[in-house]
Structure 1
């Protein structure tokens, strides 16, 4: 959504001429190889033309993510290796593939099918950092190693928390109380403590494991083993493995089409946090204040806008007409008048300096004549 609003990333892929100029300029200004990463179009032919255009513009290494820009979140689906293979055959620069990489065997299959020179992994590597080693270690081994690196090279706590949520994803479906703890802690030491507690719970489960017991929830391994996470579809109720409360119980993700009715029981985690900060806050859509609409685009208009427009439309009109809108803090007219005043002031100063210089020359001539007369 952010990339779509900002018109960058995959949402810039329709601006072919602009992308050409950007790559050409980057080659002129930078002394490093220019690499690009793209998502595919639904049509293989258009994807190939797009890749060839980038190569001609000066791209020296191309990574192709085999999904369209619409294939995100629950709509991700399977990446198309056919698109990647077509691009690899059509260009002369190195091509890397991205998509469908969950195990090391997938890397080998991808290279064989597409002929690419390299393979990238995003979510697969986040859930199992040992993916490219061909291992599936216990989760706490990777978590402890990661936390040691963070202690040596500090970074924002939100980054660390996000990585731990990925690593512990399957286990946190079982020990949900620790999921909440992981979300609430404010220090690195707190994250380490939660990680230690999760480790103890898992070790206790391993000690009590029955001989013929199999992983729950359709997982290939037990939840404490690093393994991929397959996103559920938009209408699929994802039954995660877990035992919270009673044996064999499962935790399903809230369906995307469910509507919040203002009650805390149906609220998302984010809204529940807001409710804790402000107990009187209501999420009932019928109680939301009604805003007057912008005369042009329909977005809420500024209450003090002189044009009865939203900020975006007001800014365009004020710029076009060189006008002011104090309600939105836009002062195009005032700034223009100040710039004219400044320019006129500069011209007056230049005239004064020229006059002064002429006066000095005339005074010098008169003085010279007087000296000559005395002589």
Structure 2
């Protein structure tokens, strides 16, 4: 989930949050947004490099809700509709516009929201079958079924997918067109290939990727912490989780599994992204009372030809 306002305003944020390569398809970029300018602006920036954008209306974290993102948007259905509608009006298919939601306590309001978004041109919807107040409780399968039967657009089911059999159950028994996993895939990236825990090939792949593409240590280590959760003994896991440098992480993996990073040329073939930045609300104050000379300097520095 990328914050759309930061993505639009900051080149540093764009460089830190988004990268892709020619083999990275299909690719949908998920944004947290609460204004049309932010969501449309971010979508127009990534359209040359992605197949679609997704609006996160399902994040229940306190910081997101306090800032007006994630599930806070579920209480503002007209705003969500406008966010979808404006992107759909500006960027035609086959570029997709999707939304991820959670179920509302009143299932009728969930249905109304989904039907409203369908009319606005939503490509598909992802439904996490828990309410914003739920955490680890079993997902609401009946609520998911009711939503599925109330719309015609494709529905991606989410929640409690920890094994391949869980995904198959949702797909086969609830007439869903797709299945999403979040925590399950973090712990086991090979979940959809049928593995019950992370195979060493995934560890090798992640080391290769992070050796080929500049990656912050916290990101590199964090994903390994998840992947090793089910395959490392508790004592060794506690030790590994507290490592502080990339060198110590690589040494541990090498000593424990005999795995070293390999520079993979395919991973390193990044697409160099150029963003077409249009003047909007972020530049109004800059342009106000701007001299002709300063205006020319500003335009020369802010626009990139593509």
TM-score w.r.t. the length of structure 1 is 0.49
Shift of 1:141: 3.6
Classify the secondary structure of the residue corresponding to 1:34: strand
C-alpha separation in 2, matches of 1:142 and 1:196? 14
Match of residue 9, structure 1, among 70, 92, 102: 70
C-alpha separation in 2, matches of 1:127 and 1:96? 20
Shift of 1:172: 5.3
- Pair 173,151 (structure 1): closer, same or farther in 2 beyond 3 Å: same
Classify the secondary structure of the residue corresponding to 2:170: helix
Confirm or deny: 8 A CA contact 1:161 1:183 kept in the other structure: no
Q: Deviations over 1:190-246 (max 9, x none)?
A: 22212234437xxxxxxxxxxxxxxxxxxxxxxxxxxxxxxxxxxxxxxxxxxxxxx
Note the 1:1-375 alignment, pairs <5 A: 1-31=62-92, 32-71=95-134, 75-136=135-196, 139-171=199-231, 174-176=234-236, 179-187=238-246, 189-199=247-257
CA RMSD of aligned residues (A): 2.4
C-alpha separation in 1, matches of 2:198 and 2:182? 20
Shift of 1:173: 5.9
Q: Deviations over 1:136-192 (max 9, x none)?
A: 35654422221112112232211111111111124556125x5345433222x3222
Q: Deviations over 1:314-345 (max 9, x none)?
A: xxxxxxxxxxxxxxxxxxxxx9xxx9xx8xxx
Name the count of aligned residue pairs.
Answer: 199
Confirm or deny: 8 A CA contact 1:40 1:47 kept in the other structure: yes
Confirm or deny: 8 A CA contact 1:172 1:179 kept in the other structure: no
Classify the secondary structure of the residue corresponding to 2:165: helix
Runs of 5+ unmatched residues, structure 1: 201-334, 343-375
C-alpha separation in 2, matches of 1:198 and 1:12? 46
C-alpha separation in 2, matches of 1:46 and 1:98? 19
Shift of 1:103: 1.1
- Pair 3,18 (structure 1): closer, same or farther in 2 beyond 3 Å: same
Q: Deviations over 1:12-68 (max 9, x none)?
A: 110011112111111122232211111111232222122111112221111111111
TM-score w.r.t. the length of structure 2 is 0.59
C-alpha separation in 1, matches of 2:157 and 2:198? 28
Confirm or deny: 8 A CA contact 2:243 2:249 kept in the other structure: no
Shift of 1:109: 0.9
Confirm or deny: 8 A CA contact 1:111 1:119 kept in the other structure: yes
C-alpha separation in 2, matches of 1:16 and 1:138? 39
Q: Deviations over 1:55-103 (max 9, x none)?
A: 12221111111111122xxx32112222222111111111110111111
- Pair 126,149 (structure 1): closer, same or farther in 2 beyond 3 Å: same
Task: Give the structure, 1 or 2, with the largest relative contact order (CA under 8 Å, sep 6 or more).
Answer: 2
Confirm or deny: 8 A CA contact 2:98 2:123 kept in the other structure: yes
Confirm or deny: 8 A CA contact 2:127 2:158 kept in the other structure: yes
Confirm or deny: 8 A CA contact 1:67 1:76 kept in the other structure: no
C-alpha separation in 2, matches of 1:78 and 1:159? 29
